[in-house]
Amino acid sequence: MDNKGYYKKAGICFIVMVAAIVLLSLFSKDRSFSDTENRALQQFPGFSISQYMEGRFEKRMESYADDQFPGRDLFVKIKSAADVTAGGLEANGVYKGRDGYLIEDVTKPDRKSLSRTEKALADFKARHSNVDMYFLLAPTAGNIMSDKLPRSVRVADQDAYMDQFFKSVQAGGINTIDVRSELRKAADKGTQVYYRTDHHWTTTGAYLAYQKAAPTMGLTPRKYRKAVVSKDFRGTLASKSGFSNGKNDAISLYLPDYDGYKQSVIFYDDTQTRTTKFYRFGNLKKKDQYTVFGGSNHPKYTIKTPVESKERLLIVKDSYANCFIPFLTQDYFEIVVVDPRYYFENIDDLMDSEGITKVLFLYNSDTFFGDDSLALALEQVE
């Protein structure tokens, strides 16, 4: 350390490291969107004195420096590797479980906003007393796959929250669809009902749920067969945590295994597009392959199928429904799908204008307990 030139070398090393990153960011093109993080990235902010004095320019500039950092994904991997080496089991709320499972912590409901949602649901049902309503609240991997969690991790008791919620909804006159035991049984037998790297259920999980839901909704469950369409899916949990686990996920579709299947026509309101295809195979080449199920989140779309049934179904849902909806098309003349996180129009008006005869709410517990958009959508504006 005391020998001559030692610190010179250290200084040069420092300069080279900093300069390398500065040059890389100077000569690489700014990105506008991060696939891994699934969000828009900050662009170079415009400068004005007033923006500077308010501190807004500085904030944007800092986000810009972070967002456009060269080799962001690589650095995230380095960080995760270091964490795991040091015994880390969790990153950004995601646990590194056994058998390559990444499992998100269970969301605890906020008592107040949950009661508000429960009341909004009961009031909504009361306003449309002649319409049958169903609530399918799906459990998440943190509950069903809890045996895959690291031994020292205990997540909150999702079952207790769900039980309580089901009770309250039933009291309001809405039928509940509880798929927990079906999913648990399948999982115990080794069937993969949740993705290892993504927070969604697999299509198998959705199919099991459909088998359970159909009788409750007065339908005869139909038979579908499984077809694997991708074997290299790395989902949101992998991105969120930065954990690199050994196993990629497979995505499968469930195709009708019976005669007389009728093609549906889907109309997306936000993009004003009409299509007959549920699945977007192009998205399998993208980062978020789950978007093979109808693309990213749409505020509202309509599915029309020339079947004999005259029922018109409204589905109020989150992304768990995306791989579930195709199972229902053959039993409803029209299905209107609404995601209240993005749909801000009056749902009562929609009920009337579309002549809705049945309503299905389909959510996963984590989204549902952590979000009050459903209450907002159902409450009547005074």
Partner 1 sequence: MLFSSTIFIFYFLPITLVIYYAIPERYLRARNGVLLAASLIFYSWGEPVYVFLMIYSAFLNYFSALQVRREQHDGGTGKKNLLFAVVMNLFILGFFKYYGFLMDTINDITGANIKYTALALPIGISFYTFQAMSYVIDVYRGTVGPQKNFFRFALYLSLFPQLIAGPIVRYRDVAEELEDRTHSLEDFGAGSMRFVFGLGKKIILANNLGALYSSITALPDGQVSVLTYWIGILAYTFQIYFDFSGYSDMAIGLGRMMGFHFMENFNYPYISKSITEFWRRWHMSLSSWFREYVYIPLGGNRVTVPRHILNLLIVWSLTGLWHGANWNFIMWGTYFGVLLILEKYVYGKKIEKLPAWGQHLYTMVIVIISWVFFSITDIGQALEYLKTMFFMGGHPVANIKTLYFLRTSLVLLGASALCSTPVVLEKFKKLADRYPRWSIAVMAGVFVLSVAYLVFGSYNPFLYFRF
Contacts with partner 1 by CB under 8 A lie at 1-3, 6-15, 17-19, 21-22, 25, 52-53, 55, 58-59, 61-62, 65-66, 69, 72, 75-76, 78-80, 82, 85-90, 150, 152-154, 242
CB 179 within 8 A of CB 139: yes
Nearer to partner 1, 112 or 154 (CB): 154
Given the complex with partner 1, which of 15 and 255 has the nearer CB atom? 15
Angle at 89 between CA 88 and CA 95, to 5 degrees: 150
Q: What is the separation, in whole angstroms, between the first and last Cα of the chain?
A: 75
Q: How many residues does this entry show for the chain? A: 382
Looking at beta carbons only, is 107 or 330 nearer to partner 1? 107
Residue 25: CB minimum distance to partner 1, A: 7
| Cβ neighbours, 10 Å, residue 6 | 10
Both tokens assigned to 341: 């996180």
User: Phi and psi (nearest 5°) for 134?
Assistant: -130, 145
Specify the 3-state DSSP secondary structure of 82: helix
Burial class (CB in 10 A: 0-12, 13-18, 19+), 55: exposed
CB of 363 closer than 8 Å to CB of 319: no
With CA atoms as reference, report the closest residue to 314 among 371, 353, 281: 353
Kindly state the smallest distance separating residue 245's Cβ from partner 1, in Å.
Answer: 17
CB of 83 to partner 1, least distance (A): 9
CB of 84 to partner 1, least distance (A): 10
- Minimum distance from residue 118 beta carbon to partner 1 (Å): 23
CB atoms within 10 A of CB 194: 26
Q: How far is the CB of 109 from partner 1 (least distance, A)?
A: 14
Please work out, in degrees rounded to the nearest 5, the angle formed at the alpha carbon of residue 105 by the alpha carbons of 134 and 35: 90
**Residue with Cβ nearer partner 1 (37 or 379):** 37
Q: Residue 33's beta-bridge partner residues?
A: 40
6 or 281: whose CB is closer to partner 1?
6
| Contact of 124 with 173, CB cutoff 8 Å | no
CB of 96 to partner 1, least distance (A): 10
Q: What is the DSSP string of 325-364?
A: GGGGGGG-SEEEEE-TTT--S-HHHHHHHHT--EEEEEEE
CA distances from 131 to 59, 125, 173, 187, 357 (A): 50, 8, 10, 34, 5
Q: Helix, strand, or coil here: 168?
A: helix
Residue 261: partners with Cβ closer than 8 Å, 6 or more residues away: 330
Nearer to partner 1, 153 or 214 (CB): 153
Taking the complex as a whole, the smallest distance from the CB of residue 68 to partner 1 amounts, in Å, to 9
Minimum distance, C-beta of residue 153 to partner 1, in the bound complex (Å): 6
